[in-house]
């Protein structure tokens, strides 16, 4: 079966053509968002749409002749926008998942006693990262008429006229009952949303509609999912405790909990991983908001010239020389859930060099991921025995080694840069009646820890102390 898989991400849209599990062509078009001084992160919806069209058409052209049997669409998860249901015309910018402008709204709901109730229903923390606070914030600005949905609903509507969202994306809104996988009237009440106006929830694999956006012949759209959950599927994290981390604009660690919905007691969130037919798989999720964004920051302030300097500079020193970095440039996600937190670089001395700063940024990213992995192990009842990883920053050998050291577990590198696309391609194939089996794969390499457990604990505790200090600074 031949599938066009579209990964609509934060800074670019990637499209790949997958033929019997093998990538035969790919294309990518930028659609980078813009940050504003008041904590906003926005992108033009028409830019998102055009990048989807351009990437899909270019990938198909590169693949050459051959029938395309199905299309799958992966999305950003928590990005929302207002649009006219009748015409599909955008009424607002797309408010990206990094946007912090609904922080005050979350503070008000927390003061009103909603935080624990919402977590009990949805499995999520009350935080501006998720969709519902941004929907409520945007509603105050666009009025009652346009619909406000996650970006996948709009894209699917433009592709094939449907008004749907998949179960995994719905679980990222703060509006879904995690146990029943249906919209929660109580959660909707908290945000002033009428559940009847929300899109229909569909499985991640199944027929949604047909589109002629990429060819004159209609192609069925049969797969849809959040990008991170699609990658979890591609990396074969099916059994409880199997986990992956994607290092992109942010870092996203997901651990499967199998067929059991789980509420975290250790600062993570529970959500739907995927739904195939009536069979639902759940997962735990934790986030580091600024990872690739932190590397961009290093470039913007003149510390590095390119991402390759992560190793070219950071690899020239054995440690950060006492410097500690907390990646709170857009607040801190799990396990802190502190949108007011600030980033921090501490521990400078007269001997501190650029190399030490770069190494500290690498270690700060790896340290927060290691805390997330520890939290997942605590929720699941046993430590993670390995972590599968993907994303652009996995090209950094220093990051991979530091991650393995702080995890005290092997890090297995996924052999393709297209984990998300391959995952949603698999959903589309299943949804079109194809095989449920993923192609066999092996890690491109495995990185083992090189430091002792006691040394790892000492470094993590030092990082945790610095992170907690930023919570006070940002309060």
Asked if residues 66 and 127 have their Cβ atoms less than 8 Å apart, the reply is no
Residue 475 has pLDDT above 60, yes or no: no
Residue 474 has pLDDT above 80, yes or no: no
Confidence class for position 436, pLDDT limits 50, 70, 90? confident
Q: What is the pLDDT of residue 21?
A: 87
pTM of the model: 0.94
Pairing of strands 387-390, 243-247: parallel
Q: Comparing C-alpha atoms, which of 437, 56, 85, 9 is closest to residue 219?
A: 56
Point out the least confidently predicted range of 76-80, 188-192, 229-233, 290-294. 290-294
CB atoms within 10 A of CB 135: 25
Confidence class for position 65, pLDDT limits 50, 70, 90? confident
If you average pLDDT over residues 88-101, what whole number do you get?
96
Structural domains of the chain, with CATH: 2-234 (3.30.420.40), 287-413+445-474 (3.30.420.40)
Q: What is the pLDDT of residue 435?
A: 83
Q: What percent of the chain has pLDDT over 70?
A: 99
């Amino acid at each position: 079966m031949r599938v066009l898989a579209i990964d609509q991400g934060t800074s670019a849209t990637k499209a790949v053509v997958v033929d019997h599990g093998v990538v035969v062509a790919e294309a990518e078009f930028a659609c980078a968002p813009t940050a504003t001084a008041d904590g906003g992160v926005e992108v033009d919806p028409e830019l998102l749409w055009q990048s989807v069209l351009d990437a899909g058409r270019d990938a198909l052209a590169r693949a050459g002749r051959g029938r395309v049997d199905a299309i799958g669409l992966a999305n950003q998860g928590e990005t929302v926008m207002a649009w006219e249901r009748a015409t599909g015309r955008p009424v607002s910018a797309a408010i990206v998942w990094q946007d912090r402008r609904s922080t005050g709204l979350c503070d008000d709901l927390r003061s009103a006693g909603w935080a624990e109730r919402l977590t009990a229903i949805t499995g999520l923390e009350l935080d501006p990262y998720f969709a519902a606070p941004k929907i409520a914030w945007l509603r105050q600005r666009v009025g009652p008429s346009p619909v406000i949905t996650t970006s996948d609903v709009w894209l699917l509507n433009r592709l094939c006229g449907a008004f749907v969202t998949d179960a995994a994306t719905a679980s990222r809104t703060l509006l879904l009952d995690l146990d029943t996988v249906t919209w929660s009237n109580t959660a909707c009440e908290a945000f002033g949303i009428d559940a009847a106006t929300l899109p229909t929830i569909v499985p991640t694999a199944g027929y949604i509609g047909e589109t002629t956006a990429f060819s004159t012949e209609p192609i069925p759209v049969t797969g849809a999912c959040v990008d991170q959950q699609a990658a979890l599927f591609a990396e074969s994290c099916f059994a409880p405790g199997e986990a992956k981390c994607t290092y992109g604009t942010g870092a996203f660690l997901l651990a499967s909990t199998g067929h059991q919905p789980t509420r975290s007691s250790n600062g993570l969130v529970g959500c739907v991983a995927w739904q195939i037919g009536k069979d639902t798989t759940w997962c735990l999720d934790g986030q580091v908001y600024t990872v690739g964004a932190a590397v961009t920051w290093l470039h913007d302030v003149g510390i590095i010239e390119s991402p390759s300097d992560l190793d070219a500079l950071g690899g020239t020193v054995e440690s950060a020389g006492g410097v500690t970095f907390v990646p709170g440039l857009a607040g801190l996600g799990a396990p802190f859930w502190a949108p007011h937190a600030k980033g921090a670089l501490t521990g400078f001395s007269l001997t501190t060099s650029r190399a030490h700063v770069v190494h500290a940024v690498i270690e700060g990213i790896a340290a927060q991921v290691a805390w997330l992995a520890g939290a997942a192990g605590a929720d699941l009842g046993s430590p993670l025995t390995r972590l599968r990883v993907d994303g652009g920053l996995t090209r950094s050998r220093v990051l991979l080694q530091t991650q393995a050291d702080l995890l005290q577990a092997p890090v297995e590198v996924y052999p393709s840069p297209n984990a998300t696309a391959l995952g949603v391609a698999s959903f589309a194939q299943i949804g079109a009646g194809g095989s449920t089996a993923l192609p066999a794969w092996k890690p491109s390499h495995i990185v083992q820890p090189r430091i002792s457990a006691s040394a790892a604990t000492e470094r993590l505790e030092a990082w945790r102390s610095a992170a907690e200090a930023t919570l006070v600074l940002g309060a």
